[in-house]
Amino acid sequence: MLFNFEKDQEHIFDQLGDQMHRVNPNLTFEFGPKENGHREFVISADGIKEAFPAVEALYAAAPSLPRWKCTKFRPRRKPLDVSYQGVSVPSAQVRVKVDPKGQTANLTVFIPGFAADKNRTYQALSFLLLDGALGEYDVETRVDQISVAAKPNEKEQTYSLEDLPKAFDAALARK
């Protein structure tokens, strides 16, 4: 049923969501596309660090199934354009400054068109973009502060979302 969820997606997602919320109300999930007879199932805390133990427990209890790859936490992915509350952001236009602070880093996300009066919207967009680029686990455990601005000054070292994972890992000395 889950492998071919597209046949009755709304009903199946509602059922699965209800079952996951019985474990922890913050849990959510993602399905990857069918590739070579396999499909990925992502167990996510939806960016809520307090729900991480529930993700770990559910992942540990997951059976090994031949057609499935189970993944804990949203993984790093190729950057995608995002939209939220009427604001669309092309991922290719976003730059990120990494400021290491020991085992964590502060990040400044530069989004063209940033407007201070829509700070909450731009903060949400920055989380969506960073979750995609760095993965849910690293954003919640290795990023201290996230700020948003319109554009960097010319002297600041910034990275595209595509280059961010490598720069972030290097800044925090993680290979």
| Predicted structure pTM score | 0.87
As a residue count, the chain comes to 175
Does residue 27 sit within a domain?
Answer: yes
**Based on the domain organization, do 163 and 93 belong to the same domain?**
yes
**Based on the domain organization, do 66 and 113 belong to the same domain?**
no
**Based on the domain organization, do 88 and 147 belong to the same domain?**
yes
Question: Average pLDDT, stretch 104-132?
Answer: 94
Label residue 118 by pLDDT band (50, 70, 90): very high
**Based on the domain organization, do 24 and 66 belong to the same domain?**
yes
DSSP state of 33: P
Domain-ending residue, one of 72, 104, 130 = 72
- pLDDT of 174: 61
**Based on the domain organization, do 88 and 66 belong to the same domain?**
no
Alpha carbons 34 and 96: distance in angstroms, whole number: 32
Which residues, other chains included, contact 6 with Cβ-Cβ below 8 Å and sequence gap of 6+? none
Per residue in 26-75, pLDDT (tens digit) is: 999 999 888 999 999 999 999 999 999 999 999 999 999 999 999 999 99
Per residue in 136-151, pLDDT (tens digit) is: 999 999 999 999 999 9
Label residue 175 by pLDDT band (50, 70, 90): very low
Per residue in 63-107, pLDDT (tens digit) is: 999 999 999 999 999 999 999 999 999 999 999 999 999 899 999
Q: How many domains does the chain have?
A: 2
Domain-ending residue, one of 72, 92, 123 = 72
**Based on the domain organization, do 105 and 43 belong to the same domain?**
no
**Based on the domain organization, do 21 and 98 belong to the same domain?**
no
**Based on the domain organization, do 140 and 98 belong to the same domain?**
yes
Give whole-number Cα distances, 81 to 11, 37, 84, 148, 163, in Å. Answer: 28, 28, 11, 17, 16
**Based on the domain organization, do 93 and 53 belong to the same domain?**
no
Q: Which of 23, 68, 67 is nearest to 44 (CA)?
A: 23
Q: Which of 93, 37, 46 is nearest to 68 (CA)?
A: 37
Identify the three-state secondary structure at position 88: strand
For residue 123, the enclosing domain spans 82-170
Which residues, other chains included, contact 107 with Cβ-Cβ below 8 Å and sequence gap of 6+? 96, 97, 98, 99, 130, 143, 145, 146, 147
**Based on the domain organization, do 92 and 157 belong to the same domain?**
yes
Does residue 77 sit within a domain?
Answer: no
**Based on the domain organization, do 161 and 91 belong to the same domain?**
yes
**Based on the domain organization, do 91 and 68 belong to the same domain?**
no
Q: Judging by beta carbons within 10 Å of its beta carbon (0-12, 13-18, 19+), is residue 125 exposed, middle or buried?
A: buried
Does residue 141 sit within a domain?
Answer: yes
What DSSP assignment string belongs to 44-65? E-TT-GGGHHHHHHHHHHPPP-
Provide the percentage of residues in the chain whose pLDDT is more than 70.
Answer: 99
Question: Average pLDDT, stretch 112-116?
Answer: 92
